[in-house]
Amino acid sequence: MRVIFDHQRKVDEASGGFRLSIENVLQVGFNLFRKSPGIFIIYGAISAIAFSNPISGALLGGPMTAGFYVVADRIRRNQPVELPDFFKSFDRFTPLLILNLLVGLVVFLGLLLLVIPGIYFAVSYLFTHFFVWFFEESPAEATRLSRKMVSGNFSQILLLFLILGGINLLGLLAFGVGILLTLPFTYCVLYAAFDDIIGIP
């Protein structure tokens, strides 16, 4: 049983406006990453391979993304982590798969509409995996909650999105190897941001 936590109320509060220290969440994310960089890099390599192929990315992207959050959460709680811990997210494979396909389709269609709608959806749905994994919400409800939450300070989440996108671009430009560092770091930062805004029980 998961600890009872009124995340719906937290989302309602966040939708009314929130302030996020980007500098702080970048620091917290880095601290999470540096506590177990080895396994993060290994899982980052596995994820990068999966994400690089459209088919495997579509099928595995959801649970593999959530895997980063599973381990980041364990590290925050000072629990020991091993590589298999990343794959615990596959316990909710079906809803995370549906979520990945749903968000991917909406963002793709948005990008076809002069790009800007695609960016809007990508930012709005940035935190959907947290609601499916930590609060066991359905994919549809997760997208609603994430969008509602982000609406409380869309511009700041957009800025974080662009910063992380730039960091990963630099990682790709570093002969592609840098992405093994920047990808897990990105997910650790997103975990820190979600925990700061909503909280994880």
Q: Which residues contact 61 (CB under 8 A, 6 or more apart)?
A: 50, 51, 100, 104
Cα(42)–Cα(47) distance, integer angstroms: 9
- Report if residue 15 sits inside a domain: no
Q: For all residues of the chain together, what is the average pLDDT?
A: 94
Q: Which residues contact 1 (CB under 8 A, 6 or more apart)?
A: none
Q: Which of 11, 71, 7, 84 is nearest to 35 (CA)?
A: 71
- Report if residue 14 sits inside a domain: no
Cα(134)–Cα(9) distance, integer angstroms: 15
Counting as low any pLDDT under 50, the low residues of the chain are 1-3
What pLDDT does residue 115 have?
82
Number of domains in the chain: 1
Element (H, E) at 176: none
Helix, strand, or coil here: 53?
A: coil
- Report if residue 13 sits inside a domain: no
HEC letters along 81-147: CCHHHHHHHHHHHHHHHHHHHHHHHHHHHHHHCCCHHHHHHHHHCCCHHHHHHHCCCCHHHHHHHHH
What pLDDT does residue 172 have?
87
pLDDT tens track for 26-39: 999 999 999 999 99
In the chain, the largest separation of any two C-alpha atoms, in whole Å, equals 46
- Report if residue 186 sits inside a domain: yes
Q: Which residues of 157-178 are buried (b: 16+ CB within 10 A; e: fewer)?
A: bbebbeebeebbeebeeeeeeb
- Report if residue 4 sits inside a domain: no
- Report if residue 8 sits inside a domain: no
- Report if residue 6 sits inside a domain: no
- Report if residue 10 sits inside a domain: no
Domain membership of residue 192 as a residue range: 21-77+85-196
What pLDDT does residue 4 have?
62
Rounded to two decimals, what is the model's pTM? Answer: 0.94
